Chains A and B, each alone.
Chain A
């Protein structure tokens, strides 16, 4: 059983489309994260939210726009993406953002940009 859900699980979009990825955590956590996992590359942290405030933006292009309306929900809005943005996008949450907190991940959204 996973406490972090992501929708959709698969998404195919053209470069001119606008779409959104959704993440929801049912663990009562205060921090949420977006990661990108490309083939043959380590996971890359994209954004961190703590108590609905963005605390880290890891030099992500502006075509990715995160939104955290409350501590249970996190969105990633996508527009005018490039084929190289095709990847698995993983959401995670943790109790807080202190050093001992374990992050729990969702199943990911596999994105293909045509």
Chain B
């Protein structure tokens, strides 16, 4: 069965520094998708970045980049130049191809606190 593991319950980072949030996954399917979402205290899940298993290059979206290491089954999120507004929960998720629907499996999340 597919599984997402986020081993860092909480992280601190100084403003303007880079931070890496870890995510490992487990699947036997050769074709899958990996997502990162941000959840501020307001509750909304905000889509950040997507990486397909066949993508040749690591995904990037502004200050977000995904360090995709397929052999190690890891998909770490890198946030460069952290800002105070980056303080939030961050969830890694994977597309589940076990069923016919667009089903996401989420990790337990990492709480990021950006310090001034």
A interface vs B, CB < 8 Å? 2, 9, 31, 33, 40-43, 45, 48, 50, 55-56, 88, 90, 92, 94, 96-108, 110
Q: Which residues of A contact B1 (CB under 8 A)?
A: none
Q: Which residues of A contact B100 (CB under 8 A)?
A: 55, 97
Q: Which residues of A contact B35 (CB under 8 A)?
A: 102
Beta-carbon contact of B47 and A88 below 8 Å: no
Interchain nearest-CB distance for B9 vs A (Å)? 9
Beta-carbon contact of A108 and B99 below 8 Å: no
Interchain nearest-CB distance for B85 vs A (Å)? 16
Q: Given that A42-B108, A105-B37 are known contacts, is A98 also in contact with B46, CB under 8 Å in the complex?
A: no
Using a CB-CB cutoff of 8 Å, which residues 25-52 of chain B contact chain A? 31, 33, 35, 37, 42-47, 50, 52
Query: Interface of chain A, helix or strand or loop or mixed?
Result: loop
When chains A and B are docked, how far (Å) is the Cα of A98 from the Cα of B99?
A: 11
When chains A and B are docked, how far (Å) is the Cα of A44 from the Cα of B109?
A: 13
Beta-carbon contact of A99 and B42 below 8 Å: no
Q: Which residues of A contact B91 (CB under 8 A)?
A: 42-43
- Pick 8 A–B contacts, CB within 8 A, sort by A: A48-B102, A56-B99, A56-B103, A94-B102, A105-B45, A105-B47, A107-B43, A107-B44
Q: Given that A42-B106, A42-B108, A55-B100 are known contacts, is A108 also in contact with B95, CB under 8 Å in the complex?
A: no
Beta-carbon contact of B31 and A99 below 8 Å: yes
Whether a CB of chain A sits under 8 angstroms from the CB of B64 is no
Whether a CB of chain A sits under 8 angstroms from the CB of B101 is yes
Q: Which residues of B contact A33 (CB under 8 A)?
A: 102
Q: Given that A43-B106, A100-B33, A100-B52 are known contacts, is A105 also in contact with B46, CB under 8 Å in the complex?
A: yes
